[in-house]
């Protein structure tokens, strides 16, 4: 969201907002909280895996083109027909596949799953390419081991933590996944000869932020702003942000901290708005992208600096 703001692009309505008849003139957001690349299982947080999102896009495009043939009355609600080939397709997915796998699999098993995840991702990207997508912006996954949620559950043994207090196994899995994702992007750039594929190293940006949080004006790197339990993590999986539960006979409430701008993490899983603003600013330097850019964004997007 912060990246869209900094690029001076409008926020996009979610696909399911179509029930409320919003405007999709500038595009559509198919993301869903908790989604995975691999098809959802019974235990999945979200049923809307990447394949489902691609299918939703197919339906969205089909219906848009149908509406455009029905006259001018729908033009302010849907994209122009050429937007599907000119638009920017942004992806940030895969983190939930890896993080979720650690609950039931060994580190070796999680590492071995990366090719399967990326094969599914490649299948979806090819379908979008066949539908006319030509401009792809692909984020790698961040340092999973630095999320309070994962530290609380998998970092009880200090030997499993790195020098920054992050779970080493989770970050190793993220690094391997990112190496293979980068290789996939290079492969697709060769296979999609008329496409523009930009790989963005979110892992490096967020790792640098957590390692040097005070340098960037933050007071806490791996503690949740909105949580329960106090230092060092202020996170308890039993009490989500804003919730009140009875724990051991007493009432426990996960409340917001007094100043969220001092925190990198918001609720144990997501980053704060201040942290996301930092991440967006680093993305826009261009130095964390392949291919890199400096004087202008790829795809000739207008920026607001």
Low-confidence ranges of the chain (pLDDT < 70): 1-9, 18-22, 294-305
Instruction: Encode 190-228: b = buried (16+ Cβ within 10 Å), e = exposed.
Output: eebeebebbbbbbbbbbbbbbeebeebebebbbbbbbbb
DSSP summary character for residue 216? G
119 C-beta neighbours (distance < 10 Å), count: 12
User: What does the pLDDT read at residue 19?
Assistant: 63
Residue boundaries of the structural domains of the chain: 2-211+285-300, 213-271
Structure tokens at 128: 């979008």
User: What does the pLDDT read at residue 11?
Assistant: 83
Q: Note the pLDDT tens digit of each residue in 178-225.
A: 999 999 999 999 999 899 999 999 999 999 999 999 999 999 999 999
Instruction: Encode 62-82: b = buried (16+ Cβ within 10 Å), e = exposed.
Output: eebeeeeeeeeeeeeebbeee
């Amino acid at each position: 969201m912060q990246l869209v703001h900094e690029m001076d692009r409008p926020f996009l309505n979610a696909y399911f907002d179509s029930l409320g008849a919003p405007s999709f003139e500038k595009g559509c957001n198919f993301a869903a909280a908790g989604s995975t690349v691999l098809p959802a299982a019974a235990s999945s947080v979200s049923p809307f895996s990447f394949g489902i999102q691609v299918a939703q896009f197919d339906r969205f495009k089909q219906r848009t083109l149908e509406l455009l043939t029905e006259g001018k009355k729908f033009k302010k609600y849907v994209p122009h027909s050429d937007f599907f080939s000119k638009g920017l397709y942004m992806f940030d997915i895969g983190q939930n596949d890896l993080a979720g796998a650690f609950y039931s699999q060994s580190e070796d098993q999680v590492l071995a799953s990366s090719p399967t995840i990326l094969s599914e991702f490649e299948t979806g990207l090819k379908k979008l390419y066949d539908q006319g997508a030509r401009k792809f912006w692909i984020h790698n996954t961040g340092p999973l081991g630095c999320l309070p949620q994962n530290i609380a559950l998998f970092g009880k043994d200090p030997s499993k933590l790195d020098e920054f207090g992050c779970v080493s196994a989770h970050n190793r899995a993220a690094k391997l996944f990112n190496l293979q994702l980068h290789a996939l992007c290079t492969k697709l750039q060769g296979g999609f000869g008329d496409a523009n594929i930009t790989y963005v190293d979110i892992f490096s940006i967020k790792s640098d932020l957590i390692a040097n949080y005070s340098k960037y004006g933050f007071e806490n790197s791996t503690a949740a702003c909105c949580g329960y339990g106090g230092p060092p993590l202020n996170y308890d999986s039993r009490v989500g942000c804003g919730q009140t539960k009875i724990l051991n006979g007493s009432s426990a409430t996960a409340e917001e901290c007094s100043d969220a701008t001092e925190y990198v993490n918001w609720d144990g899983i997501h980053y704060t708005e201040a942290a996301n603003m930092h991440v967006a600013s680093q993305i826009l330097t261009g130095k964390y992208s392949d291919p890199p850019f400096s004087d202008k964004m790829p795809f000739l997007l207008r920026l607001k600096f």
